[in-house]
Chains A and B, each alone.
Chain A
Amino acid sequence: MIYDIRHVTTYSYETPVAFSLCALRLRPTSRAGQRVIDVKIDIDPPAAKRIQRECFFGNSFEIVRIEAEHRELSVTARARIAVSRPVAPATTPSWEEVRQLAFSVEDLGPQSPAHFIYASRAITLDEPVVAYARESFPPGREILDGAVNLMERIWDDFDYDPKATLVSTPLGEAFEKKRGVCQDFAHIMIAGLRGIGLPARYVSGYLRTVPPAGQERLEGADATHAWVAVWCGPFDGWVGLDPTNKILVGDDHIILAEGRDYSDISPIDGVILSSGGQDVDVGVDVIPVASESVPLTFG
């Protein structure tokens, strides 16, 4: 499937901003299961300086300096991306075996599970969350079975509620409220998995906006979305699970960035010189432009 994505972020400031230094993680990159055909990021007012980098985890990372005084900042990312993911493995190793492998792996590279088995800035391994996750992992269960079960329980037990949490709400609080948005569900699921020693990472990206005929529209379209990838051992690698929609990640999901938690992939971060408050508005369109029949080769 090929998608055209438009992701517009607009900040409005109460008082003029003299200067702004931002880190943008808005440029999707080619990775297993997806290939970027075209991508462009426009900034208004134009930046005085832009430096394009790739971060450790393989996400794009752009440092942008705006020196013109402005009351509004708008960042528009446009991308055309082809997606074709392999189906999830039918059988996977036991979760205990994966845990043992993850802690003894001899790889410090970006794909190594070793980066994703500890608490991170936004993910604490709270005991209630870990205890919740333990129920999905009786001894000897296959890791993906356990992960799918955990995902389904989160979907059943938690309510989707954009008003319940903020981007900065600790996951323990969302866990107690049993409500939140994709970020909360992803953080909770990751905390549970890591708490029992399983490698799990945070994935941000997009969902197709218009569902195929006869299917329901998924939560998280029209905005940036987030889900979880769990490592199923060296043979099966990373498998995506979307606890907000109770589905395995397939061709409807487009990956923007991957990291340990939201703080690693936050799409726009930065410091501004201003004394007033700010408002932000985010709009996302994901339009399929070609069907599955287009022949594609993916690495």
Chain B
Amino acid sequence: MTDEPLLRVSALSKFYGSRIGCENVSFDLWPGEVLAVVGESGSGKTTLLNCLSTRLLPSSGTASYRMRDGQFRELYRMSEAERRFLMRTDWGFVHQNPADGLRMTVSAGANVGERLMAVGDRHYGKIRATAVDWLSRVEIDEDRIDDEPRAFSGGMRQRLQIARNLVTGPRLVFMDEPTGGLDVSVQARLLDLLRGLVTDLGLAAIVVTHDLAVARLLSQRMMVMKDGRVVESGLTDRVLDDPRAPYTQLLVSSILQV
């Protein structure tokens, strides 16, 4: 276990004109940690995720990331090319809608292989073998490797998107409602898969979700957001079992019991 965080976020704010996207968000994320960001739609959680993954630039605040050489780099001072390289190699981004993260008109194998080529792999046989391996890790049969994701079910597409993101061995993965829009049984399978992969690979992840059960299953730590601000944060089970902020109490008390 290292003593330094992977990501340090300090006083991050994003305004859309006079409207608050997210305001004054600070936290550290360590390797192997999964942080859930929860809140209702409009709470600013997706804005925060997009700022952290540099898909959006914040209005103020800083975020520094510990590169593989151990040096911290200020994310918003990197060049566009450097950020893109980080995104392709050391980071992953799992979108709620797989169509946003996949190329729907190339084969499943190519979707996975493309990320490998982006980091410099050129040997076709090796790329294909790695793709097959990753498809099996996300429980997609080898004989589907040449099919386009258009022909896949929603759950399969999501698993393919995860394989595409993890094949380069990223250290940090952003996930935006990774189980949103899936049937409950498909969700359970995906959650179990994600949980296993995160543990086995020692990934750090930031997961945005409105589903507290998903947060409980995947994350160790949690931030609750409302109107762009973090209203409560702490250990996931502490926040859910002993919610302190009025808004968190409302969220927790609104969970339907099965």
User: Real complex partners, A and B?
Assistant: no
Residues of B within 8 A of A (CB): none
Residues of A within 8 A of B (CB): none
